[in-house]
């Protein structure tokens, strides 16, 4: 029985030594966001100290997809948020998906879907009742991906030059 390459891909929690592979994936998403929203984003060196802080933060969690050759093919990070004390807001624990990126050469093979599934399972175990995230206008792949996974638009951010 032959095992396809995709069957060998496993999602697992991120570790310190994943940094070089994760850094390369973050460069991909940073370039994309700088192209989509140049007034908001620019590419710059990401610091490893932020990686250590993320992994050490009890309210955050990160996953990677690694292949047998130990290349990092996908990365997802999230944070758990409590509603601030405010009588006009419904208090609920939510997970905010902060970053999701799959290496361009292995997109459309189910890696993004598997990362979101693993993160969702974990967030549910933490008592979170929903996942919230932001996409930037013009990111057609992300729009199609999240719509396929059942995500719907909750609000819109408007802006105008002054």
Ligand X SMILES: CC(C)(COP(=O)(O)OP(=O)(O)OC[C@H]1O[C@@H](n2cnc3c(N)ncnc32)[C@H](O)[C@@H]1OP(=O)(O)O)[C@@H](O)C(=O)NCCC(=O)NCCS
Q: Contact letters (x/-) for ligand X, 11-40, by CB under 6 A?
A: ------------------x--x--------
73 binds ligand X (CB under 6 A): no
- How wide is the angle at C-alpha 112 spanned by C-alphas 61 and 21, nearest 5°? 65
CB of 62 to ligand X, least distance (A): 14
Closer Cβ to ligand X, 80 or 102, answer by number: 102
Give the residue closest to ligand X by C-beta: 112
Residue 142 to residue 145: CA distance in whole angstroms = 5
**Encoded tokens for 66:** 């690694």
Residue 32 to residue 27: CA distance in whole angstroms = 9
CB of 140 to ligand X, least distance (A): 6
Residue 104 to residue 25: CA distance in whole angstroms = 9
Three-state SS at 26: helix
135 binds ligand X (CB under 6 A): yes
DSSP type of residue 131: E
Binding residue for ligand X (CB under 6 A) from 46, 109, 122, 130?
A: 109
Binding residue for ligand X (CB under 6 A) from 62, 101, 118, 123?
A: 101
How many Cα atoms within 13 Å fall on the side-chain side of residue 162? Answer: 1
Residues contributing to the site for ligand X (CB under 6 A): 29, 32, 100-102, 107-113, 135, 139, 141-142, 144-145, 148
């Amino acid at each position: 029985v032959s095992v396809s390459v995709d069957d060998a891909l496993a999602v697992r929690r991120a570790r310190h030594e994943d940094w070089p592979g994760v850094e390369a994936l973050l460069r991909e998403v940073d370039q994309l966001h700088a192209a989509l929203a140049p007034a908001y984003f620019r590419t710059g060196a990401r610091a490893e100290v932020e990686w250590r802080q993320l992994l050490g933060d009890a309210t955050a969690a990160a996953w990677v997809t690694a292949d047998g050759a130990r290349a990092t093919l996908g990365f997802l990070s999230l944070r758990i948020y409590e509603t601030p004390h405010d009588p006009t807001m419904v208090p609920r624990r939510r997970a905010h998906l902060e970053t999701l990126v799959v290496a361009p050469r292995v997109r459309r093979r189910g890696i993004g879907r598997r990362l979101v599934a693993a993160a969702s399972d974990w967030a549910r175990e933490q008592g979170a009742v929903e996942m919230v995230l932001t996409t930037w206008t013009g990111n057609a792949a992300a729009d199609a991906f999240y719509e396929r996974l059942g995500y719907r638009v909750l609000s819109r951010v408007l802006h105008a030059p002054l």
